[in-house]
Every structure is written in structure tokens, then in C-alpha cells.
Structure 1
Amino acid sequence: MSLADKVLAVNNDLPIRTDKPIHSGKVRSVYWLTEADSRRLIEEKGYPVAPDAPLAVMVISDRISAFDCIWTGKGGMRGVPGKGAALNAISNHWFKLFKEQGLADSHILDIPHPLVWIVQKARPVMIEAIARQYITGSMWRSYQKGEREFCGIEIADGLQKDQKLPELLITPSTKGILKDIPGVPEADDVNITRKNIEDNVDAFSFRSEGDIDLYEKLLKEGFDLISAELEKLDQIFVDTKFEFGYVTAANGEEKLIYMDEVGTPDSSRIWDGEQYRAGKVVENSKEGFRQALLSHFPDADILLNKGRMDERLALARDNELPESLLMDLSSTYVGIAEKITGKKLEMSDNPKAELLEVLRKDYGLVD
């Protein structure tokens, strides 16, 4: 069996029983279960949710997205072997620790297969909750140009690239395009201040102003927990993005939870500690792949300039990357997942057939 066969690149064509459109994101696809199947599984599996809570099957793919494009490789490689399983394993590990340490629950109710979650429907908060412990990436690029205010927070002069910041910075941006918010452009991923959020609690889908404090508390606590755990492995948690949402608990109470994914090489920068102390940044995250893309193409501005999005999409569509680029990334993902979880990553030879068999046999969700 070839490497390409082990990659789950298309995950929105599975015969999972649903009566709603399949939602397909950059990496995950969501299958909303029928009301009857949701009720049946809640009862059969004893999920701790309200009996009428809507459930979904979330299937991760091995697709690789960077600079808002999906990239493919030579030899029919439509993704990165082991990437989906690595992301899920890392998220599962952190979500479990968050719950054990009393931080907050996640949207995950069950893990039928390394590429599959059964989740409770959450009402997302419309914020990409970003926390930064080091100055690097887009923040450093803006700082170099003389910017000293980030999301309403003043930053001191004299910082060096990749330096640790005096304190953890919370620099949120919009999730999706939000309309009619004074001072906030109608575009995805726009930096916002805490005051923007406080003045528009409903627009950002918070239940109350007090929940702004709660999301920041959960972001900081989650960041600190992951940072401390990674430090034990001599890895540095540089920056990350969390997402939050509301779910209804079994007792009918609405609560704020962690959702999407946390502490993964897709949503975070992770650096090797030993190399950093020696003055060198070695990425154990997707950032290494981004840097490789910037070196691979002669005109890096296409990838960095949002005004050249059409050219960028054409670049991703028309260029198959060398297999070695994707395999290097596979090693990074699998390596960091095994380091974090302390277990060998379960990789499937035929992921699609395997996950459908489990969902048919143990969950009755495939006809």
C-alpha cells in the first residue's frame, strides 16, 4: 500500500447518517446526527448531556492548510501521513488534563477512532483567543515596522526577535466576519481589543460581560498548564489559539467550554528548548512548514500579502510540493504527538474503511 493511500484527504463524502448539510472546514468535517440518533446515543452511551442535545460526528483529515490554502504533494499525496491522528491525540491529551485539573470541559463526548470525535453542539464565541509568550511571527513583523500597540496593549521598545515577553499577552482576533461592530473591520481574523469585546458582548456571542473574564481566565490557565507540561519535555510553548463555546449541561445549565482543538502544532508554535538556549529556533509545529514554503517559492510576498490571494490560491492549486516537504512535516507531527502523549501514535493503513467500520458496528451511524 502506498503512502498516499494512508492519507485521509477527503472527509466530507462519508456515508455517515445525517439529515443536514455536511460542514467541511480546512481540516475537519462535521456530520450533524439526526435527532433520533443523537437521543439514542446519549441514552446508550450515557453521555453527560441533556437528552435532546444535538450531537455530531467530527472527522479530521490529513489535509495540510497553510497561508489559507490547501497544499498537496507529488506522487498523489493529498495530505500529510499521520497528521490528523497526531492533532486529535494531542488535543485529547490536553482536553483530558484540563478537565482533570478542573479548568473546563470540552465539546468531545467520545473518541470512537483516532480520527473521529463525537461532540456536543456548541454555540461558538466569535473570537480566536490568542495568547503569546514570545514575540515572533506576524507580531514581530509588525513590531519591526514600528508598531507598539497590539490589541490595545502597549509593548515596550527594545525587544529582540523570538524574545520571551515580560508577561503572557492576550491578543484576540475575530472568528469569521462580524458586521456592524464600531471600529472593527468586516473581515476574518481582524485584531480586536478587550474594549471592543466589552462594548459588543452580544455581537461576540458572550452570554454576559463576566464571561469575558472567564474566557481570559480559561485561556491563561490552559496556556500555563500546557506550557508547564511542555517544559518537562524541554519544549517551549510560544503562542497558541484557543476557541470557546457554550453547551447545555445535563442539568440544563449553559456553560463555557473549550472547543475545536488545543495545544496542537496546527494552532500553536512549539520550539525545542535545547536549541533555543543555543540561540536557534527549531519548530515542532506547522510554522516549520510555513517557513519551508516561503523558501520553496521565489516570490514569498505572494504567501504573506493578503492582497495577492488569487495568486496564492493558484500557487497552491498548480504546484505539487516535493514529497520530502510533506514527510518532514509528518515526522514533526508524529514526533511531537508521541512526545506529548508518551504513547506510540496509532496510524491506520486504510483510515476511511476503518473508521466507517467502527461507526457502523459500535455506533449504528453507517447504513
Structure 2
Amino acid sequence: MSTANSVLAVNNDLPIRTDKAVHSGKVRSVYWLTEADSARLIQQKNYDVAADTPLAIMVISDRISAFDCIWHGENNLHGVPGKGAALNAISNHWFQLFKDHNLADSHILDIPHPFVWIVQKAKPVMIEAICRQYITGSMWRAYQNGERNFCGNLLPEGLSKDQALPELIITPSTKGILTGIDGVPEVDDVNISRSDIENNFAAFNFRSADDIDSYERLLKEGYHVISKALSNIDQIFVDTKFEFGYVTDKNGDEKLIYMDEVGTPDSSRIWDEACYQQGKIIENSKEGFRQLLLNHFPDPDILLNKDRMDERCALARDNALPTDVLMNVSATYMGIAEKITGEKIVLSDNPKQEIIEILKRDYQLVD
């Protein structure tokens, strides 16, 4: 079977029983189960959720996004081999480590297949929770241009590119477009400060002002648990993004949980420590792909300037990247996944058919 055929590029056409539209994001597709199927699975599988909690099947793909666009390669290669399996394996590993350290739960209830999560519906906190231990990327570009206040964090003079910051800092941004918040522009992914959140905590879906402390604590705890584990395999956890939400357990207690993926090459920067000590940056994350795109096209401003989105979308649509570019990304993702989990990533020739068979046989979700 060809490499292109083994890539799961389209993941929103599975015959999973649902009575709602399938939501297809940049990487994952979400199938909301019927009320009857959700209630049945909660009872059969004894999930720790309220009996009327809506459940969904979340299917990852091998698509790769960067600069808010989906990219493809030559020879009909519409994804990165092994990327989906690697991302899920890494997230699953960290969520288990969070459990071992008695951190908060996640939205994941079950893992039927390496590409699939069964998740509970959560009320999302409308914040991209980002923390940074090093100055690099967009922060470094802004620092170079004279900016010193980052989401209320004042950075000292004299920092160098890729240098460790004096302390871990939180630089949140909006998740989605929020309206009616004084001083916060009505656009997606705009930087905000802690005072913005404190003054408008309900608009960000926090239950109480006290939960702002809880989200910051969970963010820092999650970062430190992953950072320590990565340091044990000679990797540096540079920065990362977490998402949070509220769910209700079977006792009726509401709690704040981790949502989406954590500590993956898509949501984080991870550097090779030995190379860093020698003054070189080796990216074990999607940042390497972003840098390649910036170097590959003659006008990188198209990728960095949000006012040029139409040109950027055309660039991604009309340019098939060399096959070896996507295969190098594959090697990065699978390599760091195997290093983190200590297990080999085994790829399927036909992941879509495997998913269908498992969901039909073990969960009765395919007619």
C-alpha cells in the first residue's frame, strides 16, 4: 500500500451513528453521539460522568496545519504519516502521568483505537492557556521590536534569543472571538492579561474568580510534570498550550479538567537538550515545520501577517510541498513520541477500516 493511502487525511466521513453535524477542525473531527448511545455507553462502561452527559467520538487525522492553514505534499500526500498516532500516544502518556501525580482529570473517557478518543462534553474556558520558560518565536520577535510587557509579564532588558526566562510565565490568549469585553479586541487568538480575565471572568466561562487561580495552578503543575519527564530523556519543554473546561461527575460535582491534547509537538515546543547546550536548536515539534515554511517561500510576511490570510490560504492550497519535507516531519513526530512513551509507533495500512470495525464490534456505534 502506498504512503498516501496509509495517511488518514479525511476523518469526517466515518459511518458513526450521530444525529448532529460532524465538526471537523484542523486536525480532529468530532462526532456527537445520540442521547441514547451516550446514556448506554455511560452505563455499560461505567464512565465517571453524570448519566445525561453528552459523549462524542473524537477522531484524529494525519493532516498538518501551520499558520492557520492545512498543508499538503507531492504525490497526493495530504498528511504526515504517523502524525495522528504520535500525537494521541503522547497525549495519552501525559494524561496518565497527570493521573499518577493526582492532577486534574481530562475530557478523555476511553481510547478505543490509537486514532480515537471517547470524550465527555465540557464547558470550555475560553482561554488558550500558554506558558513559556524560554524566549523564542513570536515572543522573541516582539521583544526584538522593543516590547517588554507580555500579557502583564514585564521582561527585563538584555535577553538573548532562545534564552531561559527568569521564571515560567503565563501568556494567555482568547479562544475564539469574544465580544463585549472592554479592552479585548473581538478577534480570535488575541493576547490578554490576568487583569482582563479577573475583570471579566464570567465572559471567559469561569465559574468564579477563584477558579482563575485553579487554572493557573493546573497549567503550571501540568507544565512541570511534563518538563521533568522530558528532562529525563534529555529534552527541554520550551513552551506549551493547555485548554481547560468544566464537567460534572457521576456524583453531580462540577470540576475543572484538562481538554484537548497536552504536551504534543503540535501544542508545544520541545528542544533537544544536548544540542541546546552546544548552542544549537533542534526542534522536536511542529516549530521546525513552521521555520521550514518561513524559509521555503520568498515572502515570509504572508505567513506572519494576519491581514494577508487570503494570500496565505492560496499559498497552502496551490503549493504541494516536497515529499521529503513531510517525511522529515513524520520522523520528528514519531521519533519524539517513541522517546516519550518508550514504545514503538505501529502504523496501520488502513486505520479508517480498523476504527469502523472497533466502534461497531465493541461500542455498537456503527450500523
Structures share fold, TM-score greater than 0.5: yes
Give the whole-Å Cα distance in 1 for the aligned partners of 2:84 and 2:264.
11
TM (norm. structure 2) is: 0.99
Give the whole-Å Cα distance in 2 for the aligned partners of 1:175 and 1:154.
23
The size of the alignment, in residue pairs, is: 367
Partner of 2:114: 114
User: What is the Cα deviation at residue 346 of structure 1?
Assistant: 2.6
User: What is the Cα deviation at residue 90 of structure 1?
Assistant: 0.3
Partner of 1:291: 291
Gaps of 5+ in 2: none
Partner of 1:176: 176
Give the whole-Å Cα distance in 1 for the aligned partners of 2:274 and 2:155.
27
Give the whole-Å Cα distance in 1 for the aligned partners of 2:207 and 2:93.
28
- Counting only pairs closer than 5 Å after superposition, residues 209-220 of structure 1 correspond to structure 2 as 209-220=209-220
Residue type matched to 2:362 in 1? D
Q: Does 1:189 align with 2:185?
A: no
Partner of 1:31: 31
Partner of 2:324: 324
Gaps of 5+ in 1: none
Write out per-residue CA displacement over residues 282-327 of structure 1, whole angstroms, 9 at most, x where no aligned residue: 0000000001111111111111111111100000000000000000
Give the whole-Å Cα distance in 2 for the aligned partners of 1:78 and 1:318.
13
Give the whole-Å Cα distance in 2 for the aligned partners of 1:48 and 1:124.
19
Partner of 2:145: 145
SS in structure 1 at match of 2:212? helix
Give the whole-Å Cα distance in 2 for the aligned partners of 1:87 and 1:310.
29
TM (norm. structure 1) is: 0.99
1:74–1:322 Cα contact (<8 Å) kept: yes
Partner of 2:16: 16
1:114–1:346 Cα contact (<8 Å) kept: no
Write out per-residue CA displacement over residues 152-188 of structure 1, whole angstroms, 9 at most, x where no aligned residue: 1111000000000000000000000000000000001
SS in structure 2 at match of 1:57? strand
- Counting only pairs closer than 5 Å after superposition, residues 274-313 of structure 1 correspond to structure 2 as 274-313=274-313
Give the whole-Å Cα distance in 2 for the aligned partners of 1:251 and 1:219.
25
SS in structure 2 at match of 1:237? strand
Give the whole-Å Cα distance in 2 for the aligned partners of 1:346 and 1:202.
44
Give the whole-Å Cα distance in 2 for the aligned partners of 1:305 and 1:41.
46
SS in structure 1 at match of 2:109? strand
Write out per-residue CA displacement over residues 15-42 of structure 1, whole angstroms, 9 at most, x where no aligned residue: 1000111111110010000011011111
Partner of 2:256: 256
Partner of 2:272: 272
SS in structure 2 at match of 1:76? coil
- Identity, in percent, stands at 74
**Moved beyond 4 Å, runs of 4+:** none
Partner of 2:133: 133
- Counting only pairs closer than 5 Å after superposition, residues 87-126 of structure 1 correspond to structure 2 as 87-126=87-126
- Counting only pairs closer than 5 Å after superposition, residues 351-366 of structure 1 correspond to structure 2 as 351-366=351-366
Give the whole-Å Cα distance in 1 for the aligned partners of 2:277 and 2:152.
31
Moved more, 345-354 or 116-125: 345-354
